């Protein structure tokens, strides 16, 4: 077989939009880490728990029974009914399972569908950053223009309406938010969300709300955007099973939206995906029906680890705000004088701990690193010890412990 495609004149170019997509900044570090021995990874954004057994068993049983065909394009009606019940019970938001809920192959596909359903070429989408790495590419691939909006640690990564107003144009079509946030862990406050809804109403915008971490909210209640006054008609909610039920590999998520929007998403889905995997949908159904106690137990464990890792960073002199949700700590590494990439790279080579540089997540991420605490507590402890050794080897970082000792000596 002749594999020589070195002559560029033989071929027309690939899609310019696709060819110009940057490679995820996360990938590079995983590639380096995978070549090294004895690495503790705080890099991966997925639960370290296996999917609860009852959920796995439901999928096995469905395969044994030969339930291996496509489902309706929208997904299994029993699953859509459970999703609808869940929205009603937790957030008092009523989605019609027949017309307003679509089962997707993960929130990742939901993002792609919603971008393609809403955007014409050149339409702009306001995206508060730092944010999940897929948001901008999904918008670009749909022909849209992502418009980053910087949020900062000083402001607890809340989105200010002034910053949205500064970037809105007649081409703006939507605001895309993820909360609790990957990578910052910030849970947006009700007031912030109400202001975003008000802003969207004033400018006639859609709100795409990725709430995949809704069940991993540790201090207080998650606020579902669609439940806020005036939000329902313009909001597309994306959610899924990957994080809450430790089901990343099953590839099941869902989109909830008013019927006209959902119908358009469903048409795209029906041509490009047909339906989400059937065993995965059976598993998701079991997760919703009998997975609650596991979801609660896993969330409680993440909360314990969150406190451990945040305390650890602050004690070694790296300011780390307390994340309200998800499973990421986003400490500031500014005190070290290193850039995010330098910090991550030097830490990996010197102490074999993998973290993700904050600049991979867009504006506001430089000066931070993302550390996932979906990692066993004993490994988090070891990783913290190694990070502390690394930080101690750098000049200029003053520890909270040292400060405490100094002030104790003063009295
Ligand atoms: C904010 C956010 N949205 C969506 C996804 C993708 O989720 P899924 O596995 O449902 O495609 C992730 C995964 O890390 C995420 O962090």
User: Is residue 108 lining ligand 1, measured as CB closer than 6 Å?
Assistant: yes
Nearest atom in ligand 1 to the alpha carbon of residue 181 is: 1
Exposure string for 73-88, b = 16+ CB within 10 A, e = fewer: bbbbeebbebbbebbe
**pLDDT confidence of 405, banded at 50, 70, 90?**
very low
User: Is residue 47 lining ligand 1, measured as CB closer than 6 Å?
Assistant: no
Closest CA to 237 of 269, 262, 268, 267: 262
Q: Which CATH architecture describes the domain 53-290? A: 3-Layer(aba) Sandwich (3.40)
Asked whether the predicted pLDDT for residue 410 surpasses 70, the reply is no
Q: Which two tokens mark 179?
A: 């909360």
So what's the pLDDT on residue 24? Answer: 76
User: Is residue 279 lining ligand 1, measured as CB closer than 6 Å?
Assistant: no
Percent helix, strand and coil across the chain, each to the nearest 5: 45, 15, 40
Pocket test for ligand 1, best of 243, 287, 372 (most atoms within 8 A of CB): 243
Residues 6+ apart with CB under 8 A from 268: 113, 116, 117
Q: Ligand 1 mean position to 154 CA, how many Å?
A: 26
Average pLDDT, the chain: 93
Condensed to tens digits (0 to 9), the pLDDT of residues 46-77 reads 999 999 999 999 999 999 999 999 999 999 99
So what's the pLDDT on residue 124? Answer: 98
Residue having the nearest C-alpha atom to atom 7 of ligand 1: 107
| Spans of all domains in the chain | 21-50+294-391, 53-290
> Please, which residues bridge with residue 176 across strands?
208
User: Is residue 210 lining ligand 1, measured as CB closer than 6 Å?
Assistant: yes
Residue having the nearest C-alpha atom to atom 2 of ligand 1: 132
Question: Measured in Å, how far apart are the chain's first and last C-alpha atoms?
Answer: 80
User: Is residue 253 lining ligand 1, measured as CB closer than 6 Å?
Assistant: yes
Instruction: Output the pTM of the full model.
Output: 0.94
User: What is the bridge-based pairing of β-strands 206-210 and 235-240?
Assistant: parallel
Q: Ligand 1 mean position to 247 CA, how many Å?
A: 11
CATH code of domain 21-50+294-391: 3.90.1150.10
Asked whether the predicted pLDDT for residue 8 surpasses 70, the reply is no
Q: Which two tokens mark 5?
A: 């495609």
Closest CA to 256 of 273, 277, 232: 232
Radius of gyration of the chain, Cα coordinates, nearest whole angstrom = 22
Q: Ligand 1 mean position to 66 CA, how many Å?
A: 30
- Residues 280-287: what's their mean pLDDT? 98
Condensed to tens digits (0 to 9), the pLDDT of residues 334-370 reads 999 999 999 999 999 999 999 999 999 999 999 999 9
């Amino acid at each position: 077989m002749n594999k020589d495609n070195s002559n560029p004149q033989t071929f027309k170019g690939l899609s310019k939009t696709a060819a110009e997509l940057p490679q995820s900044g996360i990938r590079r570090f995983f590639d380096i880490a995978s070549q090294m021995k004895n690495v503790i990874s705080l890099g991966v954004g997925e639960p370290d728990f296996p999917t609860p057994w009852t959920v796995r068993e439901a999928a096995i049983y469905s395969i044994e029974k030969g339930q291996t065909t496509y489902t309706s394009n929208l997904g299994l009606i029993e699953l859509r009914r459970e999703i609808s019940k869940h929205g009603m019970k937790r957030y008092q938001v009523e989605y019609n399972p027949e017309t307003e809920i679509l089962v997707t192959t993960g929130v990742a596909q939901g993002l792609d569908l919603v971008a393609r359903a809403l955007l014409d070429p050149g339409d702009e989408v306001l995206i508060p950053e730092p944010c999940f790495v897929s948001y901008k590419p999904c918008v670009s691939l749909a022909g849209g223009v992502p418009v980053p909006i910087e949020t900062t640690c000083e402001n607890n990564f809340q989105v200010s309406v002034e910053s949205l107003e500064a970037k809105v144009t007649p081409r703006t079509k939507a605001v895309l938010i993820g909360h609790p946030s990957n990578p910052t862990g910030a849970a947006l406050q009700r007031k912030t969300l109400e202001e975003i809804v008000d802003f969207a109403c004033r400018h006639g915008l859609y709100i795409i709300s990725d709430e995949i971490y809704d069940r991993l909210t540790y201090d207080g209640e998650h606020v579902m955007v669609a439940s806020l006054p005036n939000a329902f008609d313009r909001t597309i909610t994306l959610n899924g099973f990957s994080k809450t039920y430790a089901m990343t590999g099953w590839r099941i998520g869902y989109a909830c939206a008013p019927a006209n929007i959902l119908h358009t998403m469903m048409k795209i889905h029906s041509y490009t995906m047909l339906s989400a995997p059937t065993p995965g949908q059976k598993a998701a159904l079991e997760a919703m029906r009998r997975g609650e106690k596991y979801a609660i137990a896993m969330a409680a464990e993440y909360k314990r680890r969150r406190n451990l890792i945040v305390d650890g960073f602050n004690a070694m002199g790296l300011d780390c705000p307390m994340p309200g949700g998800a499973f990421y700590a986003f400490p500031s590494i500014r005190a070290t004088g290193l850039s995010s990439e330098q910090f991550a790279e030097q830490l990996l080579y010197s102490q074999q701990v993998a973290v993700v540089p904050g600049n991979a997540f867009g504006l506001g991420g430089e000066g931070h690193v993302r550390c996932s605490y979906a990692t066993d507590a004993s490994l988090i402890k070891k990783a913290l010890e190694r990070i502390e050794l690394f930080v101690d080897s750098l000049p200029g970082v003053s520890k909270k412990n040292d400060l405490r000792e100094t002030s104790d000596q003063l009295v």
